[in-house]
Structure 1
Amino acid sequence: MNLEQIRFFITVVDTGSLSKAAEVLHKTQPAISIALKKLEESLGVPLLSRSKYRLELTPEGEKLLRHFRIMHRQQSILRSYASHLAAGIEKEVSIAYDVSTAADELFNVIKEVKSEFPMTELHVSGKERLGALNSLLKGEVDIAISPWLPTFLSFGDFETTVFSDMRLIDVLHRDLVDFDTSQGITKTRLSHIPQIMPKSFELDVDSDTVFFSDGISIIKTDDLFSQKALLCAGAGWGAIPEHLVEQELKSGILKKIVIEDLGGNAFVEVHVVRMATSSAGPVASRIWQLLHK
């Protein structure tokens, strides 16, 4: 049994006759008949009934046809994949993004690139607390999308470009508000309320310094889900990306506050980052191009 015999058999079934199959395959009818006979002999079962004017599938042929179609389809996929590799197109490309960022544009890019390069596996992972950048440093991913500070250049030889920006706002549960939120407030005024903040970062960045913690009353978490849940439960106040609490702000559960000591709310740049020393293939280059602004 070989794949050519299987292809002949499928074509005969689809066209309904040897003569039509011969036209499609550009083969003679005797050549197709011989191939089908050898296929039946190798399997030990008849595939086609020749007792009537029109060729018909035997019960065995009907059962095997589905498997033959799968084999034929896999052959086509294998050929495409081999051509894909021969052209230098990557087998897989990995992207990590920080879940604190608004990543809808990334997902649209992934969809577009997958349609252009269907044989390349795209691995997409969400990370927290600068984990995307750390994964890039460790060589686990090809591209990272992460909040960015110029000081991060000291961690590695990065190539980076702006992707978007992210607004960090300080929020407080409405039940804890005993002041006019349209006016600024000092951090001292909030000293009786716990500050909710990340436990640590995946990079060597001091979270206490980033979030201006005074260490008086603190709740630390290691994920954004818990941080948001604690804020919504009224466990304390803290800074969080505005887009993650839009609904809670609209409903009034959370109130935006401006802490004068901290200079108000802040915009943080989000960058697309890759290692400057990396050699990007066609797929990774295409992703970079589409994410590049």
Structure 2
Amino acid sequence: MIDALTLDQLRVFAAVADTGSFRAAARRLSRVQSAVSHAIANMEAQLGVPLFDRSGHRPVMTPQGQALLSNARDILLRVDALRARAQGLGEGVELELSLAVDTLFPIAHAGAALKRMRAAYPSVAIRVSTLPLGGPVQALLAGTHTLGILAGEHFRHPRIAVEALGAVQMVAVVGAGHPLADAARTSGALAEPDLADHLQIVQSDPSPLSEGRDFAVLSPQTCRVSGQDTKHALILAGLGWGRLPLWQVERDLAEGRLLRVPVASLGRDSQIATETYLAHRIDQPLGPAARALAAALRDTAQP
């Protein structure tokens, strides 16, 4: 009967699917191989369908097993989330709270939220990392940080819960002395092919999550940097053009050190909105200070 299914059977099923063999799943679960085989056989009997074809050297998942695996993973994730939430509600105040912030997010907003949290929990130590692209997600998956602030739509993971905070305005800019700035002053508008002859300053990803992918890279000539401050400084120096958060360059634009790149495909007035998200692992409990920081971030982050 399906009602007789256990969470343990679902975890064994997922472990065999992940590792590709009963023996490897047994090692992962610290069990003997016969116990893994027995759990799968019982699950198959209760479901009434074969999950693995055992006729070869290694078990091969059947079409029925493939169809049911996503349901099994979904159940396990929901149970982990329930357990984490219950644990968080029952725990005391954390000794330390760690936050991984995307480099595009205005750090002043994070600082205001942390200040508010500290007013309620002054004994909690704070650790803040600023990381680009997939860095905050990787930090959450690795368990090194409790909360994360993500930017953009490119990085999602089933173990990471996200909720929108607000939008960051990204603007394509170039140094006032760069040839693109001179061309813009002369013609008033440029086309995307005009960018191909000039270096684009691009943020590199410290995580493996974007391997093989580029985001908003339009020029065949690129200079990849490890941080937004470096990107900002190189664009100011006239090395190339690139997108930066408006909050970071607003003063440079107002005082003429930077100019918007007038290319229609880069957005209206060379500007686009990037959504930011508060994130945490669904299987890791949030203690009182983390919940207070999350509430403060929701209040202080503005579009």
TM over 0.5: yes
Q: Against the structure 1 CA distance between its residues 195 and 253, is the aligned structure 2 distance closer, same or farther, given a 3 Å change threshold? A: same
Specify the alignment match of 1:89 in structure 2.
Answer: 93
Pairs aligned (count)? 205
Structure with the larger RCO, 1 or 2 (CA within 8 Å, 6+ apart)? 2
Residue of structure 1 aligned with 2:281, choices 250, 263, 275: 275
Q: Against the structure 1 CA distance between its residues 180 and 258, is the aligned structure 2 distance closer, same or farther, given a 3 Å change threshold? A: closer
In the TM superposition, residue 105 of structure 1 has moved relative to its aligned partner by 2.4
Contact 2:95 2:125 in 1 (8 A): yes
In the TM superposition, residue 262 of structure 1 has moved relative to its aligned partner by 4.2
Specify the alignment match of 2:236 in structure 1.
Answer: 232
Q: Which runs of 5+ in 2 are unaligned?
A: 1-89
Q: Against the structure 1 CA distance between its residues 206 and 243, is the aligned structure 2 distance closer, same or farther, given a 3 Å change threshold? A: farther
Specify the alignment match of 2:254 in structure 1.
Answer: 250
Flag the structure with larger Rg. 1
Q: Cα deviation per residue 1:23-60 (whole Å; 9 max; x = unaligned)?
A: xxxxxxxxxxxxxxxxxxxxxxxxxxxxxxxxxxxxxx
Cα distance in 2 for residues equivalent to 1:207 and 1:169? 25
Contact 1:195 1:219 in 2 (8 A): yes
Cα distance in 2 for residues equivalent to 1:197 and 1:132? 18
Q: Does 1:286 align with 2:297?
A: no
Cα distance in 2 for residues equivalent to 1:171 and 1:203? 28
Q: Does 1:218 align with 2:250?
A: no
- Aligned with 1:118: secondary structure? coil
In the TM superposition, residue 267 of structure 1 has moved relative to its aligned partner by 0.6
Contact 1:167 1:268 in 2 (8 A): yes
In structure 2, give the amino acid aligned to 1:281. G
Q: Against the structure 1 CA distance between its residues 270 and 87, is the aligned structure 2 distance closer, same or farther, given a 3 Å change threshold? A: closer
- Aligned with 2:239: secondary structure? coil
- Aligned with 2:235: secondary structure? helix
Specify the alignment match of 1:140 in structure 2.
Answer: 144
Give runs of aligned pairs for residues 123-134 of structure 1, distance below 5 A: 123-134=127-138
Give runs of aligned pairs for residues 194-205 of structure 1, distance below 5 A: 194-205=199-210
In the TM superposition, residue 201 of structure 1 has moved relative to its aligned partner by 4.7
Identity %: 20
Contact 2:172 2:266 in 1 (8 A): no
TM-score normalized with structure 1 length: 0.63
Misfit runs of 4+, over 4 Å: none
